[in-house]
Copies of this chain bind each other. A is one copy, B any other.
């Protein structure tokens, strides 16, 4: 009796459930400390203590009917203004509260902006490998996701293939840097070229093409890598941000959209985002946590914890003969599978109680994603397993 569109999802969700049950089964047989679950992108670092302090201060200092009450669908004006000023300081932008729409995380933000933009049949381009949910978000509004094949040398976007895929129906392009699942940060050079192509195509087709920058991992970067702020390179950029990773608050569902005043149709776009927030049933981003993050705009989790994990896992895997582009951000390694079929390879890893996600889930077969947002000690305990796995595939001779 459920919707036909949902039937496939339900089937798929029972596969995920089966994987989850398999993990629990392994836990029971071998003990949880001997099972190495690298499958989830759930932040392992605790939220900064400032968040707890901010929440309690808001509760003690502000009016309860303000803290827990309705506000504009786009969020509290004072919160949005503080976020705008903080962005201006960091990125030398020129934003005000009128450019910010508070959202239920980045997933909420992506749905709001796609609902605002898409007519049925409109095309949204993205680059493999990509977060699999993009496909569902675009499908929610009867858009068509157009996938640019990966550049597996560097995992920078493949711009030649990109250019070929833009048509008169292209309404938006989604980029995600630092990237899930590769951890790669798109270089300034890449961004400039991407903007050039978009400008050329907008002229060619006489359309507006919105560049949607999904950046929940912006603050999780290593080796002083710079993540370019895309509004400065391309006029029709919309930023989708979330505090899920930078403040380890994924359950709280808090983030925002940046819609700069210079975007085409700016006023309609902001009004549409406001309405979409309402009618999709979000109504507004949760209120208390809006007010709390506004007090923590200069705070972030301790990235060094993830960096230690990265170094240990990357260096160890390299020494065992694995291949991987060293990630500059996020908390994932995207490693070449040691056989052609990534699903079989992920299955083989289970022999050593290692749980990893096949690259096929990100439209990039032949690779696996290893999420290192886990305990450092778990990584250490897992290393003999990774070593034996490499040995099984003849990568390691000793």
Give A contacts to B, CB under 8 Å. Answer: 1-7, 9-10, 13-14, 40, 42-44, 46-47, 51-52, 55-56, 59, 64-65, 67-71, 104-105, 107-112, 115-119, 133, 136-137, 140-141, 207-208, 210, 248-254, 264-265, 268-269, 271-272, 274-276, 278-289
Contact = CB atoms under 8 A, between A and B. Distances in A.
A282 B253 contact: yes
Nearest to A265: B1
Given A10-B272, A264-B1, A251 B282 contact: no
A332 to B, nearest CB: 16
* Most B Cβ at <10 Å: residue of A70, A133, A254: A70
A289 B285 CA distance: 13
Q: How many copies are assembled?
A: 2
A286 B250 contact: no
A3 B67 contact: no
B51 A2 contact: no
Contacts of A251: 67-71, 284, 286-288
A280 B280 contact: yes
Given A47-B64, A47-B65, A250-B283, 19 more contacts: A1-B208, A1-B269, A7-B268, A9-B272, A10-B271, A40-B70, A42-B70, A68-B250, A104-B282, A107-B282, A108-B282, A108-B283, A109-B281, A112-B281, A140-B279, A140-B280, A253-B287, A254-B286, A280-B281
